[in-house]
Each structure stands twice: as structure tokens, then as C-alpha cells.
Amino acid sequence: MNNPATITSVNQGLLEKLDPEGKLNLASCLQCARCSAGCTMRLETDILPHQMNRMVLMGMEDELLKSKAIWTCVSCHTCVSRCPMKVDTPALVDKLREMTQTAPSQDLEKINIFNNEMLKSMKQFGRVYELGMMGFYKMRARDLFSDLAKFPTMLLKGKMKIFPPRTRAAKSVSAIFDKVRARRAKR
């Protein structure tokens, strides 16, 4: 990844798309990498948070949209809490995920379907109902037979339940989803 000093100009195009009003503070990034040092998913990802922010300023849209990083981020906000400039990397990740919806490749399309089905399941039941979620995912992704042999073992080991979970928190979780959706609509 280039040193900040080697960047002579910011590619405004991608920055404008992702952070038109500067609310995510992307342009303020100091490249101190405090976010990456604390990132919960730093061992799983292919691009660290400080690198992601730099790539936005460099206009590297294709590389970002094809990255694993935008799907491994778990929105834990550790990076934001460690950042001296309060750069909102998880919000950036959300926006990049949204951008993949407009021109998904086949792999990204499956990831999007999985992501959407998982969130729908969480909203409906208060936690993920794995069996139901996988059923909908497989139908929508037209991927009925892969990993089928694993189902009996997962059922036997209690990793998947036949019936949906009953949680008292389901209504509260659903309300959180609605609030987040409303906040995102205002951005």
C-alpha cells in the first residue's frame, strides 16, 4: 500500500460517491493504522481498514468491490473507537456492499443473497434460523445440492435446529433493523 505522501491528488469520483457530505470523515484519514491494529477481522480480511480508506481516496473502486474485506467486516466499530479522526469504516463497508448490488458478479451475487437472507432471518426471529435461512439461500442462489451431505451431521450435533428459535428479543431486534434502515435512508 502506498505511503500517504506518495499520493499527489485525491480521486474525488469515488469519494463523492461514497461520502458526498464528508460524514464518514474518509478524507481526514491520517494512515496511522490504529484501526487496522485493532480490527477484529484483521486475520481474515484481504484489505485492512486503513488500506481500504486509502483505496477510496485513490479511486480503486473495482479492487474494493471485488475484495473479501467488504464481506468479512462484522461492523464491530472497534476501528471507529480507536480512530483519532473518527473515520467511519463500517459505514464505508456498508456503502461498498450496496454498490455491489448494482453490478454483482456471480460470486458476489451469491454472497449478497446469503447476506440478505441472514439479515432477514435475524430480523424475523431475533437470531438466525439457520435451516430456514439456508433453504431460502439455496433456492435463490440456485445452489440446491452443494454441502448437502453436511446437513445430517449438523442436525445431529445440534448446530442446526429443525424449528425456528423463539426469542423474547425478536421484537427488539426487528425494531433495531427498522431504526438502522431509517438512519441509512437519511444519509
Binding site for ligand SF4 (CB under 6 A): 29-35, 39-41, 49-50, 53, 73-79, 82-85, 87, 89-90
Minimum Å distance from CB 69 to ligand SF4? 8
Name every residue whose Cβ is closer than 8 Å to that of residue 85 and which is 6 or more positions away in sequence.
Answer: 25, 28, 29, 30
Minimum Å distance from CB 151 to ligand SF4? 29
Q: What is the DSSP letter of 123?
A: H
Comparing CB distances to ligand SF4, the nearer of 38 and 165 is 38
Comparing CB distances to ligand SF4, the nearer of 29 and 160 is 29
Contact status, residue 114 vs residue 141, Cβ threshold 8 Å? yes
Q: What is the DSSP letter of 27?
A: G
Minimum Å distance from CB 79 to ligand SF4? 3
Comparing CB distances to ligand SF4, the nearer of 15 and 134 is 15
Minimum Å distance from CB 147 to ligand SF4? 26
Residue for grid cell 444519509: 187
What's the rounded Cα separation, in Å, for the pair 25 and 31? 13
